[in-house]
Each structure stands twice: as C-alpha cells, then as structure tokens.
Structure 1
Amino acid sequence: MPRSRISQLLLLATFATGLAPAASAAEGDVLKARLEAAMASDLRSAEEKARDANRKPFETLQFFGLEPDMRVLELVPGGGWYTKLLAPVLAEDGELFVAIGTTTVQGLVEQGVLPDVNVVEIEGEFVRPEGQRRFQFDDLNIPVKDIDLALTFRNLHNMTEEGRRGVNEEVFSALKSGGHYGVVDHTRRHMQDDYYENWRRMDPVQVIKEIEAVGFEFVDYSTLHYRPDDTLEYEVGRHSVTGNTDRFTLLFRKP
C-alpha cells in the first residue's frame, strides 16, 4: 500500500467520524463574502496573498465550521496570517480572541490595524527544556470562556508532549459544550521516531489520541492539505518541501 494515506485509512478504520458542522446557506454566503473581502484587503501583504492558493483559507475555515457570529479563539497566531482573515469576518457579529505567541498581533492591534482582536493575556510561561527544540508551558491558563471554535495552524509540533497536553486542556476548558477545535499541522509518518529531519512534523494518529485524552470527541478530517508528492522524509523548511508540505486537518468537538 502506498504511504499516501496510511494515516487516513487508520483514521477511517479506528475512529468514529461525523459530519463537520455546516452553516446554513445564508450564513455560508455571508462567510464567503466577508472572507473574500478580507483576502483582498490591503491589510495583507502580497506575500501573504500569494499563500492563499496553498493554504486554502476559505475551504479550511468552512470545514472547521466557522460562522460570522461565533466567538473564536486562535492559538499561536504568529505573524497574523489567519488573524487578518478571521478578524474582519467576525468583526460585526462575532468576536476573535488570540492567545500564546501574540507579540506581532498585539502590535497590529495597538497600531489600529486589527482593532477588533482581543489579545488574551495568558498565565504561565514558555519554557524550553534543556536540550529540547520544543516548548512546554508551566502553569498555563488561558482566561477566556464560552468559545465556539478554537483554531491552531501548524503550531503543535513546536510543543513538547506535556506542552500539547496543557494547551489541549486549556482549549477544552475555554470551549462551550458543543464547541469545536480545529487543528492543522505538518504530517509525519505514523509511529516514526523523532529525528532532525522530522521534528516539525506530527503523527496525526498521535495528535488525535492526545486530544481525545483530554475529553474531546474526534469529528472528522479533511484532505484539503494532502500533498502526495511530499514523501514525509524531509524538514519542512527545506526548499524542496516548503510550500508543499503534506498537512493533516482535524476537527474535534467538546461534548
């Protein structure tokens, strides 16, 4: 069997799946119109817009069930690529919160570029254990509640197993019952040991098990970011791989 979707077959065979939350036709039209406007906005650089074809933001956020009136939490927003899309979509009817690694977004808020974003001041601190590439969080607390949808894009690989558990627990606490958690990250071969070429990749089956372990139900996965010519052998920053990494796209629900 080709390596091309062993992990996906495992997902189908091992985990119960359901339908992703679907917005009504009217809500879908509003989401589409607002997101298209955000994608065309001058707030985004040419470099950011150039990534749209690869990252497929509309299809990805639609899969995660984003609706314009939701309370959304984005974790580790980094440079704000997704924040610049989420904020305009939610500005009128919903709310956007960002937490962990928010320095760049905080600056954009203070400059008035993203005035409608709520930067959450977390409790706890980043810690990188000696000899580790990844971070953990000591005494993490994300003080926000009643969230409809939590999202993180290509960030879990930067955390230790303990760090991921802490983040997943805080997401579970922040979400309302029935709320959803969407995760995207670079794919690693199933059960492959950690080494220098794959440390920024994650085994999707391991991710599912870790997130289920804190109380979530696995809902569905998407092949939106499946890349058959990524052999899963090389560091995601290599020139031969960057922009074409195979990424898993997973959706979970808080009971």
Structure 2
Amino acid sequence: MRQTLSVLAVLTTAAAVASVATGAPRTQRSAIAEAVSSPSRTPANVARDQYRHPVDTLTFFGVKPGNTVVEIWPGGGWYTEILAPLTRAKGNYYAAVGPDFPNGGKAVEAFKAKDPALYGHAKLVAFPAEAGQPRVPDGTADVVLTFRNVHNWRMGYKRNDQDYSPEAFKQMFAMLKKGGTLGIEDHRLPESASAEREKSSGYIKVSTVRRLAEQAGFVFAGASEVNANPRDTADWPDGVWTLPPSYRLKDVDRAKYAAIGESDRMTLKFRKP
C-alpha cells in the first residue's frame, strides 16, 4: 500500500511539473504573484510588501487579470505598479484621481510615458467625478479598490473639511456591475474609541465603513486580517502619520515607531447585489 501511494505521489508531482512546463493556465493567485514580483516595480515600493501584503490582499478581493479594475486615488502609484501590468493583456485599469483632477494623475501619466507596454492601457478619470469630468461608466467595473482613503473622505480632505464619504460610496456603487466587488483597506480605529477621532487621526472604525457601504447599497461579503498589526494602538501623538512610512515626528522616537511598523488596517470586501 505504501509503495502504491509513493508511486501515485511521484506520478502526481510529475504531472504537475509537466502541466507547468506546457504553459498551463495561471491561477488567480499566481497571476497576482507574478505581477507583484515583476522587476518593473520600484524597489522602495517592494520594501513595503511586508506591511501591505499585496498578493494576499488582491487574492482576497478576487482580482483577476481579465477584470475591469478601478483604483480610487492611486496617489504615487504603489498599487498601479501591480494592477496595471496585471490587467494589461485581458482587462482594463482605471486610475480614479481626486478633486485635483487631472493633476492628481501625474504619477500614472509618468508610468504610461515610461513604459507604454505595461501602463499604456491605463485610463485616467476623476473621483468623485463632477459634471463634465471623465468618469468610470456606470455598471462596467468588476472590482473597485481603495486603499487607505475612506478616512480622507470622512475628514473632508480637499473638500473644505466637509465629509463627502456618502457621495464617494454612491459613485463607487454606480460604477460596479451587479455582483461586482468593492475592496477597502484602511487604518482601523478601535470600536471603543471616540468617533470624533475619525475627523483628525487618520483612523476610522470598521463599523463606520460598513455603515457607509451598506447605506450606499452594498452587501458585506467578508473581512480579512491579512493587514492587521496588533502593535498599533491607534493613539499616537500625530495620528496614523506618526508611524512609518510618514514619520511625521521625524527623529523623535523613530526607532520605537519603526519597530511598531505600519498601521493596523482593516481589509473589507463588499458586493453590489
């Protein structure tokens, strides 16, 4: 019996190797891992993988190479370096930049100019889009992703300190297909903390994000602890920006904050029914 099992194990392994050698279809996770390991990524961005866990995060959100993916506020392009190459052959990638549109898309435009083969298909749109601005067409996105931005909308960033998170969720809901996914990662404020801290600390409660999403029509589809950091107590002198990579206090207790690492983050998935 043992000999039979050993032979079966050898044959199974040989078949798996042969499958890879003949170019078997990539799995969702292997396609993401390939994009994450690409030499085209900036070394400084790669160094943050230990905190941002891009393979696990995008796998949890269900991102596939053939998807139409919208990234809300790509900023300097940390995830652009992964999502644009991932979708270049079969999918679509929208970089939805903020109220400073189109200036907020300079990083994405720089990527496109540097390497059109990887980034040329990226489309630049506004978010939240105003009348007359280019936007993601309603009902076209498979996945909408936003990383560490809901707290900005809640704080009224670039909108005269007025909370515009309900409008942001409304527009994300509109751009998704039925059954599409909204993936959110953000700095997590403990549920026991005062809600007032959401207005200044850069942290936000899971319950607040869920309320905003569900009021817009989304259905909660799950949570992952892949980006959790139990060392982060979320009560720092200069809010979340005390921690790396911002180090807003500069050299004050820098070693202490470096040892804590980047913030404790929620990773939530919602579905458009």
TM-score (norm 1): 0.76
Contact map agreement 1:123 1:140 (CA 8 A) in 2: no
Q: Partners of 1:215 and 1:196 in 2: how far apart?
A: 23
Larger displacement relative to structure 2 (192-201 or 41-50): 192-201
Q: Partners of 1:181 and 1:140 in 2: how far apart?
A: 22
Q: Partners of 2:85 and 2:201 in 1: how far apart?
A: 34
Name whichever structure is richer in strand by fraction: 1
Q: Partners of 2:70 and 2:88 in 1: how far apart?
A: 14
Match of 1:107 among 107, 110, 115: 110
Contact map agreement 1:165 1:214 (CA 8 A) in 2: yes
How many angstroms does 1:84 deviate by?
0.8
The answer to whether residue 33 in structure 2 is matched with residue 36 in structure 1 is: yes
Residues 47, 91 of structure 1: alpha-carbon distance in 2 compared, 3 angstrom cutoff: same
Cα displacement string for residues 15-51 of structure 1 (whole angstroms, at most 9, x for unaligned residues): xxxxxxxxxxx87x34333333322333222111111
> Which structure has the larger Rg over C-alpha atoms?
2
Question: What RMSD over aligned residues (CA atoms) do the two structures have, in Å?
Answer: 2.6
Residues 75, 124 of structure 1: alpha-carbon distance in 2 compared, 3 angstrom cutoff: closer
The answer to whether residue 123 in structure 2 is matched with residue 118 in structure 1 is: yes
Aligned to 2:234: 232
Residues 168, 39 of structure 1: alpha-carbon distance in 2 compared, 3 angstrom cutoff: same
Aligned to 1:72: 69
Match of 1:212 among 214, 220, 223: 214
Deviation >6 Å, runs of 4+: 138-141
* Count of residue pairs brought into register by the alignment: 217
In structure 2, the residue corresponding to 1:219 is in which secondary structure?
Answer: strand
What code does the residue aligned with 1:152 have? T
Aligned to 1:221: 223
Contact map agreement 1:150 1:171 (CA 8 A) in 2: yes
Aligned to 2:171: 170
Name whichever structure is richer in helix by fraction: 2
In structure 1, the gaps of 5 or more residues are: 1-25, 126-137
How many angstroms does 1:122 deviate by?
5.3
How many angstroms does 1:67 deviate by?
1.2
Aligned to 1:253: 271
Q: Partners of 2:229 and 2:164 in 1: how far apart?
A: 28
Match of 2:137 among 133, 140, 144: 144
Residues 204, 91 of structure 1: alpha-carbon distance in 2 compared, 3 angstrom cutoff: same
Q: Partners of 1:168 and 1:180 in 2: how far apart?
A: 13
Residues 122, 152 of structure 1: alpha-carbon distance in 2 compared, 3 angstrom cutoff: closer
How many angstroms does 1:198 deviate by?
5.4
Percent identity between matched residues is: 31
Q: Partners of 2:28 and 2:85 in 1: how far apart?
A: 10
Q: Partners of 2:263 and 2:90 in 1: how far apart?
A: 34
Contact map agreement 1:149 1:180 (CA 8 A) in 2: yes
Q: Partners of 2:220 and 2:94 in 1: how far apart?
A: 23
Aligned to 1:132: none
Contact map agreement 1:184 1:249 (CA 8 A) in 2: yes
In structure 2, the gaps of 5 or more residues are: 1-23, 98-103, 157-161, 244-256
Contact map agreement 1:186 1:245 (CA 8 A) in 2: yes
Residues 140, 192 of structure 1: alpha-carbon distance in 2 compared, 3 angstrom cutoff: farther
